[in-house]
A and B are shown apart, each in its own frame.
Chain A
Amino acid sequence: MSTDQNLQNLQGNRACALAAIHAGCRLFAGYPITPSSEIAESMSAELPKVGGVFVQMEDEIASMGAVIGASAGGVKAMTATSGPGFSLKQEALGYAALTEIPSVIINVMRGGPSTGMPTRPAQGDIMQARWGTHGDHPTVVLVPWSVEEVFAETIRAFNLAELLRTPVIILFDEVIGHLVETVDLARFQNPQITDRKWADGKIEGFKPYRDPGDGVPMMARPGDGRRVHTTGLSHGESGFPTQNAGEVEKFMSRLLGKIAKHRDEVERIDARCCDDADVVVVAYGITARAAHRAVSMLRDQGIKAGLFRPITLWPFPESAFKAVAEHARLVLVPEMNAGQLILEVERLVSDKTTVAGLNLFYGEPITPQQIVEKAEALLSQ
C-alpha cells in the first residue's frame, strides 16, 4: 500500500521479467544461475498467467537453442544467465546473429572468470558481449543503471531485436539485478511495441534474405507457404549455403551494416553536466550511479566534471561521445574489470585528451569517493 498508487518497490531482476512480458515475450527458456535467478523465478510465475511458456532447460546451451527455436516460430523469447552461462550461449548466439532470428539475452554480471564470485558484482563481460561469439557479427548491447531503466531497456531490447532481426543482449551487474528501488511504472502502461516484420506479397520466388532496403529482410511466417532454408552456414538471399565470394561479401556487408542503418533507434546515451566539463567520467551500470554522485562531489569542490553514460554500450555511441569528450582535460573510465570499455574510449579520443581508468575487480562496487579521489589524483599530476 502506497500513498501514491503508482509507486512500488521492485527488484531489478523482477523488473526485467515483468518488462519482458510487457513487451510481448511469451517464452522463457533458461537454466537459473546466481545472480540472475529471480528473472527465471518471476518468469515461471508470470508467463503462464498470460498464456506463455516457461521451460527450465537442461543447460544454458539448450536454453539459447530453445529461445532461437521459439523465435523462429514467431514467439518473442528470452533467456537470462550470468557469466558462466553466457559463455555457454556464445555459439548459439552467433547462430541467431547469422540466421537473423530475434532474441533477447540477459547477462547479470558476477565476478569471473569461470564460476568466479557468484554473489558479487562485476563488469567483466563487456568485451565478451561484443566479441564472445566467433566471426564478425552485429551486436546490440544495452546497459541499464537503475531498476526503472532495466524495465525500459528490456522493452527496448525486444523492440530492437524485432526491428533488426538480431540477438540483443542486456548486461547488468549483480548490484542492479538485486537492487530494489521505488519505481513508478505508469509511463510504461502503453509502451511502443515493435512486432515482427512478416513477409507479405507474392509467395512464389520469395527470397528469405533479400534486403528490402533497410538491411533487415522480411521473415516468412512459419507455414505460410513460403520456402525457407535456415542454416548457420554462410548463405545468400535464398538462404541456401554458399561460399561464392560475391554472394558472401554482399550478405556479410548487409548483416554487419544493418545496425548502422538504424543507428538513431539503436544508440542511446545519457550525458550530464558535460557541456563545460574538464573531467568526463564514462561509466555504465552501478558504476555510473557512483560516477553520477562523484560528479556532484567534484562540482562541489569547483572541479568541472561531467558524466557520459552509454545506455547502448554496443555499438558504442561514437559521435555523441566524441562531441563531449574531445574538449575535456581528462576522461576517466571507472569499471569493475581490469580495463575493457576504456579500450574503446582510448581508440576514440586518446589523441585529443588524457584517458585513464579506475579498475577494481574484487567483487565490491566502486564508490563515489574512489572515483573522486582518482580524479583528484590525476588532475594534480
Chain B
Amino acid sequence: MSDFQIRLSGSGGQGLQLAAEILAGAMLSVGKRVAQSISYEPTSRGGLSRSDLVIGDEAVDYPLVTDLDCLLILDQIAVDGSLDIIRPSTVVLMDSDRVTAAPKVECKLVSMALVRAAQGIGNVRTANIIALSALAELSGFCQAATLRQMVEERMPPRFVALNLDALAKGIELARSAGSPE
C-alpha cells in the first residue's frame, strides 16, 4: 500500500481531528508512515473542519491529499471542498441526515445515519469514532483490532468503554450497508 489517502471532514466540534489522530496512531502501530494535515475555521464550534491522512510504507513525500481513496463527510458544509479530489474509485461515507445534497460526482457512495447511531449508543460525540470504524470496515485500510487498541491507549479512561461501543457500532453499520456502490 503506498500513498493511501483519507479525508475525515465535517464541521468543527465533531471530533474529526481526534479521529484522525487515532487513525494516524493506528497506522504507525502497524509499521506505516503517515502525514496528517488539518484545515479548520477560526471558530471553536462549527465551520468547515477536516483532517487528511496520507499513508505509505515509506516516508510520505508529498504530505497533502490529491486523490482520495476514502472520504468521510459528516456535515453538508464539507461537501463542496472535496469535489475536486474525489475519484470514481473513492469510497465516500456520508451522514444520511447531516448531508442533504450528496456530492454530484462519480464515486462509491455509502450513506449511513452515523450521528443518529451515536445518539443511540448514548453520546452524540462518538459519531467520529463510529464513522472511522465504519469507513475502515468498508474499505479495509485498518484492522478493527488495531483501532480498538489505539482507542484504549489514547482515550481518557472514562471514555474508553463508550468508544469501544462506537467502534463496534461502526462495524455493524458497515456490514449491514454492504459493499460500496
A-side residues, CB < 8 A to B, are: 1-4, 7-9, 34, 117-120, 146, 175, 178-182, 286, 289-290, 292-293, 365, 367-369
Contact = CB atoms under 8 A, between A and B. Distances in A.
A3 B35 CA distance: 17
Closest 10 CB pairs of A and B: A180-B36, A293-B62, A182-B33, A3-B31, A118-B42, A181-B35, A9-B24, A178-B38, A1-B29, A119-B42
A4 B61 contact: no
Contact of A119 (B40, B60, B149): B40
B38 A4 contact: no
Interface residues of B, number: 27
Interface in B60-106: 60-64, 66
B64 A9 contact: no
A9 B25 CA distance: 7
B98 to A, nearest CB: 22
Interface string B135-153: 0000000000000010001
B86 to A, nearest CB: 15
Interface of B: 21, 24-25, 28-42, 59-64, 66, 149, 153
Contacts of A289: 61-64
Contact of A9 (B28, B30, B38, B62): B28
Nearest to B35: A181
Contact of A179 (B25, B37, B42): B37
A179 B35 contact: yes
A8 B37 contact: no
Contact of B36 (A118, A179, A367): A179
Given A3-B30, A9-B34, A180-B34, A292 B62 contact: yes
Contacts of B35: 179-182
Contacts of A365: 64
Nearest to B81: A364
A365 B21 CA distance: 21
A367 B24 CA distance: 23
Contact of A180 (B24, B29, B32, B149): B24
A369 B63 contact: no
